[in-house]
């Protein structure tokens, strides 16, 4: 997970991974193309799979292809194009077996944050489920107590605690039911009141 802050410590956004952040960068940079200016700085990261690159090159005359593009086309490779500000100096990398595209994405993301003077914080945590749902059995309800519903949404810690309490409550009720004979309706209400 990536958390990005600007130089004023204001949150720019939270992103699941580098791919999500690259989409954000692309959207930000494409806004510049709507109002181009002289000396415009443009950042982009493009990864073409071999089939995509071959289809793209079908529309370009071979004399206009660069050496890395020709190499990738001849060997049936994909291509990564990276522009770090100056569109006249695009870095083109044929994607061979020893090229780590994910590492290139990560480096590009960090370079972009450095250029924008943004702080990038990467956490290795995976998002836990925001909420868990605990099924509360019918017999765990207290008559007249509206806070307990048949299904209640709780945060993770509280939900786990309540679930373990309910499991132990259910186990006690099952043990009690197996050792006792069925109780009359008045005894059932009395048993429920004792528990709460």
Greater confidence (130 vs 66) lies with 66
**Mean pLDDT computed over 149-162:** 52
- In the predicted model, what is the mean pLDDT of the chain? 76
pLDDT of 135 > 50? The answer is no
The pLDDT assigned to 160 comes to: 66
Please answer whether residues 41 and 26 qualify as being in contact, where contact means their C-beta atoms are separated by less than 8 angstroms.
no
The pLDDT assigned to 107 comes to: 94
Greater confidence (108 vs 178) lies with 108
The pLDDT assigned to 47 comes to: 92
The pLDDT assigned to 163 comes to: 67
User: Could you give the angle at the alpha carbon of 75 between the alpha carbons of 70 and 76, nearest 5°?
Assistant: 95
Which of 130, 128, 162 shows the shortest CA–CA distance to 148? Answer: 162
Give the predicted TM-score (pTM) of the model: 0.59
pLDDT of 35 > 70? The answer is yes
Number of C-beta neighbours around residue 2 at 10 A? 20
Angle between helix 18-34 and 101-116 (nearest 10): 50
């Amino acid at each position: 997970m990536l958390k990005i802050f600007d130089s004023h410590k204001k949150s720019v956004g939270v992103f699941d991974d580098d791919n999500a952040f690259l989409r954000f960068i692309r959207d930000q940079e494409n806004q510049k193309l709507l109002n181009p200016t002289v000396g415009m700085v443009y950042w982009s990261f493009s990864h073409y799979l071999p089939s995509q690159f071959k289809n793209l090159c079908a529309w370009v005359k071979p004399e206009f292809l660069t050496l890395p593009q020709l190499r990738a086309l001849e060997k049936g490779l994909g291509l990564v194009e990276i522009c770090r500000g100056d569109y006249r100096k695009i870095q083109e990398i044929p994607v061979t077996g020893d090229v780590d595209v994910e590492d290139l994405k990560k480096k590009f993301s960090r370079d972009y944050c450095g250029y924008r003077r943004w702080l990038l914080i990467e956490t290795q945590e995976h998002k836990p489920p925001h909420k868990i749902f605990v099924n509360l059995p019918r017999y765990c309800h207290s008559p007249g107590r509206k806070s307990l519903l048949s299904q209640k949404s709780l945060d993770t810690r509280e939900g786990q605690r309540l679930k373990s309490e309910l499991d132990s409550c259910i186990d006690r009720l099952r043990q009690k039911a197996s050792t006792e004979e069925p109780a009359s309706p008045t005894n059932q209400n009395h048993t429920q009141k004792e528990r709460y």
